[in-house]
A = this chain, B = another copy of it.
Amino acid sequence: MSNLELEFRSDNCGRAAPEIIEAVVKSNQSTALGYGADELTIALQAQMGALFERPVRVFPIPTGTGANALALAATTTPFSAVYCSPESHINTSECNAAGFFGSGLKVTSLSGQFGKLDPFALDRAAATAGRGQAHKSQPAAVNLVQATDLGAVYQCHEVAQLGDIAKRHGLVMHMDGARFANAVAHLGCTPAELTWKAGVDILSFGVTKNGGLLTDAIVVFNDEIANNIGFHLRRAGMIWSKMRFASAQVLAYIQDDLWLRLATQSNAAASTLALAIQAIEGTRIVAPVQANELFLSMRSTALDHLAASGVLFYRRGPDLARLVCRWDTTQQEIQQLIARIQQAAAAK
């Protein structure tokens, strides 16, 4: 067995897309005003508006964690409860960022399948939360992750169903779109259909995992929310003085459908992988493979074998592996991985 390492730990292990690197280089021609008053940042507002088929406000922001926490802080009070799925990134992987940005707000996880929020659970939670009772965390926002943290993708009508419930209960709807591109590429819908047309008020628009360098973005579909975000960002040390170098990345990312082409590549890699794995005895794929992540269950010793063979991946339990495909995952890497999974499954 080859010892060559195969990288399937995370999409953030991937390269930056050449088009985005090139845009950064090109944006360095002249002086420009700081803190987002530059031409690229202004152009970004219009381009993103075109992409979403309506005026939006776009704020490049260093990380997805920052985007999520700040989006929630900007749309809630310190007395708020934010509903999410148990597996959601804000609940499991952001070191209390939502509580920090939100002055102590409460992250409340509800049941659901494959990282999706169950609409009935949301409805019941909001209805029984005790709105107006001072000792109760007040229902304020709902967070959905698209694609989910288990690799599934909400259909547009599923988002819209949650959006209706959110609206009915006066909840802001936030979409954590760290893998928004993968979701749109999977669904073939428009970005508008998957967001504001389905009730999303504010979106963490992922760039980094899908070919960016150092920026994600917040996209706001609601002017009232947007007006305070500048203060939130500045207080959080999140407004780059040379914003142009971040805006250049986001602009290149959405130009000529680059973002969808990149996501299509990582989605396809995951699909190919899933198809091949299904034929291997001793393996089980435990969640829908609709984006670029695959959750693979194998005997614990088989996973040990797989790791020893040089495949890099994270374990989510003794017999559960997460495998993530990148935009730059090659066909050769996929084929080698399949071969090593076959060997691992067959090993005693």
Which residues of A are interface residues toward B (Cβ below 8 A)?
Answer: 7, 9-10, 12-16, 18, 21, 24-25, 28-35, 61-70, 77-80, 92-107, 134-138, 208-209, 212-215, 228, 230-242, 245-246, 326, 328
Q: A44 CB to closest chain B CB, in angstroms?
A: 15
Q: A336 CB to closest chain B CB, in angstroms?
A: 14
State whether A100 touches B213 (Cβ < 8 A). Answer: no
Main secondary structure of the interface of A (DSSP, over half): loop
Extra pairs beyond A7-B31, A64-B241, A134-B230 (8, CB < 8 Å)? A9-B34, A78-B235, A93-B136, A96-B105, A97-B237, A214-B240, A214-B242, A236-B236
State whether A136 touches B24 (Cβ < 8 A). Answer: no
Query: CA–CA, A236 to B107, complex, Å?
Result: 16
State whether B99 touches A105 (Cβ < 8 A). Answer: yes
Q: A202 CB to closest chain B CB, in angstroms?
A: 15
The 6 residue pairs across chains A and B that have the minimum distance between CB atoms: A66-B237, A99-B104, A12-B241, A100-B104, A65-B237, A134-B234
State whether A10 touches B34 (Cβ < 8 A). Answer: yes
Q: A258 CB to closest chain B CB, in angstroms?
A: 15
State whether A235 touches B95 (Cβ < 8 A). Answer: yes
Query: CA–CA, A328 to B242, complex, Å?
Result: 15
Residue of B nearest to A61 (CB): B237
Q: A275 CB to closest chain B CB, in angstroms?
A: 24
Residues of chain B within 8 A (CB-CB) of A12 are 34-35, 241-242
Known: A62-B237, A213-B245, A242-B208. A93 touches B135 (CB 8 A): yes
Q: A326 CB to closest chain B CB, in angstroms?
A: 7
Query: CA–CA, A245 to B135, complex, Å?
Result: 20
Q: A110 CB to closest chain B CB, in angstroms?
A: 12
State whether B28 touches A16 (Cβ < 8 A). Answer: yes
A96 touches which of B21, B209, B235 (Cβ 8 Å): B235
A106 touches which of B62, B79, B107, B135 (Cβ 8 Å): B107
A63 touches which of B18, B96, B239, B328 (Cβ 8 Å): B239
